[in-house]
Structures are given as C-alpha cells and as structure tokens.
Amino acid sequence: MKLTALQDQLTGDWVGKSTLWCNWLPEPEKETSSESRLSVKTVARGKFLSFAYTWSLAGNNHEGFLLTGNENDSETTSGAWGDSWHQSGSLLVLKGSVAEAGAIELNGTFEAPPDPDWGWRITITQPTPQELQMMMYVIPWNGTPERAVQADYVRA
C-alpha cells in the first residue's frame, strides 16, 4: 500500500498522551507520561506526509517530527525523524513499508559507541478512524526491540 492511500484518514490534528520508557533508569523514573499533540499534513504537493508532535519531560517541552514518503511507484516507504530530546541534531534516516491494513513501519540505525550500531523502529497504526498510535522501539545491537515511546491520540 502507498502512503497516499492513507492521507485522508491520517491528516489533521490529534491530541493524546505520550509515554517515554527509559529502561536504564530505576523505578519510578523509568516510565514518564505527558500530554501530547500531533499534526499530520501533506507536504510537497501531496508527495509526503509530515507528522509533527509535542510532548514534555520533567517540565521541559519537546517536539519532534517524522517526514515520510514512498519511493517512486514502489511500496517502499522512506522517512526522516528528528526529536529535540532523543537526538543531537542529526536526522535518523528510515526505510520501511505500509502494510495492506495501513500500518506504517519504518526502521533505521544509529551509532551507539562503543557498541555496534543500534536500531530504531517507528510504527504508526490506526486502531479506529478516530484513533492514531505511534510506537517507537530501540533495538540494542544484540537484543530484542524494547519499547521506547508510545503515543496514543484521538482526533482533536
């Protein structure tokens, strides 16, 4: 499935809650939730979908974005992700696909010295037409994907 088939159902403003998991921290700091807003728009004459979101941690406001598009006429989806807390200013480049049911999955890697590169996965699903969920997973170089972010939204 191509992203353009999802534009009408994804575009618009969304409100909800974002939960961040910092698995390296002790309880109760390991899991933190905040209010979150998401705006999904088409950009570049409908060739791309832009996901722009806000969230907070310890009283500090943060924001992030995901820009996604299809590669020509293929089913392959590409993306670039940036977040004011998760990154130092470098974009994470992602590749993935859109399932027939409409779930978007994108995967990328980032340097994590002294270890080999780690992975990062972003999935976007719509449980119902009025709900949107964005999940992010960190994938240690030698391990199983771990939940990093879960953002659950409803239409604003």
Cα distance between residue 94 and residue 83, in whole Å: 14
| pTM over the 0.85 mark | yes
pLDDT for the residue numbered 74? 75
The 10s digit of each residue's pLDDT in 97-144 is 999 889 999 999 999 899 899 999 999 999 999 999 999 999 999 889
